[in-house]
């Protein structure tokens, strides 16, 4: 019997490449995004999207200490008033973490509270955490009923951290981020 290799590509990322530690996020209703930490033109961290269509796809080839882990799917839709994060700042109206490193989670949220600009948040996370990880900040349109995020994650504190956080600043309009940090495989 002949073995057929099916290749799933996102930019230069081949999501069928070994080891099987790929995570991906597909989003609709994404107003803007930014990355930091690692270049997105390699083969282990890729992003593509269309800001006019408000869609984005992100892929991470995660470096795991435990290769037995299975990815978990997480879906986010419209937010409600709930804060499940370690940071209890009163400006946070919604927060859902899939980040079991509480110190890292706190630093990510503090960066999100500083700016409505995804690029500024991504850069601040990189500078604050001093990690050599891939960082993606997705600005989510929670006024769009079609907004939807589908993300696979590893519940591994030394390889992955994501936080979905809605913020009501003292001045200005509310904003909502999906922030993802992953320790990716070196090319």
Mean pLDDT of 117-131: 97
Parse the chain into domains and list their residue ranges. Answer: 9-63+73-182
Alpha carbon distances (Å) from 90 to 85, 95, 178: 12, 11, 19
CA distance 70 to 77: 23
Q: Which residue would you say has higher pLDDT here, 76 or 153?
A: 153
Q: Which residue would you say has higher pLDDT here, 80 or 154?
A: 154
**Residue 36, token pair as written in the block:** 């930091």
pLDDT tens profile 169-179: 888 889 999 99
């Amino acid at each position: 019997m002949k073995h057929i290799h099916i290749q799933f590509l996102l930019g230069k990322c081949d999501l069928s490449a070994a080891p099987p530690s790929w995570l991906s996020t597909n989003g609709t209703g994404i107003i803007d995004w930014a990355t930091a930490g690692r270049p997105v033109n390699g083969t282990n961290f890729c992003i593509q999207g269309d800001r006019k269509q408000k869609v984005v796809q992100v892929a991470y080839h995660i470096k795991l200490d435990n290769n037995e882990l299975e990815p978990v799917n997480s879906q986010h839709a419209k937010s409600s008033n709930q804060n499940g994060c370690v940071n209890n700042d009163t400006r946070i109206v919604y927060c859902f973490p899939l980040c079991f490193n509480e110190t890292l989670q706190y630093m990510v949220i503090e960066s999100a509270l500083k700016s409505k600009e995804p690029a500024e948040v991504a850069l601040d996370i990189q500078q604050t955490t001093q990690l050599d990880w891939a960082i993606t900040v997705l600005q989510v349109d929670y006024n769009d009923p079609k907004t939807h995020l589908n993300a696979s994650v590893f519940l591994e504190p030394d390889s992955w951290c994501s936080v979905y956080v809605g913020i009501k600043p003292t001045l200005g309009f509310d904003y909502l981020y999906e922030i993802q940090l992953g320790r990716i495989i070196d090319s």
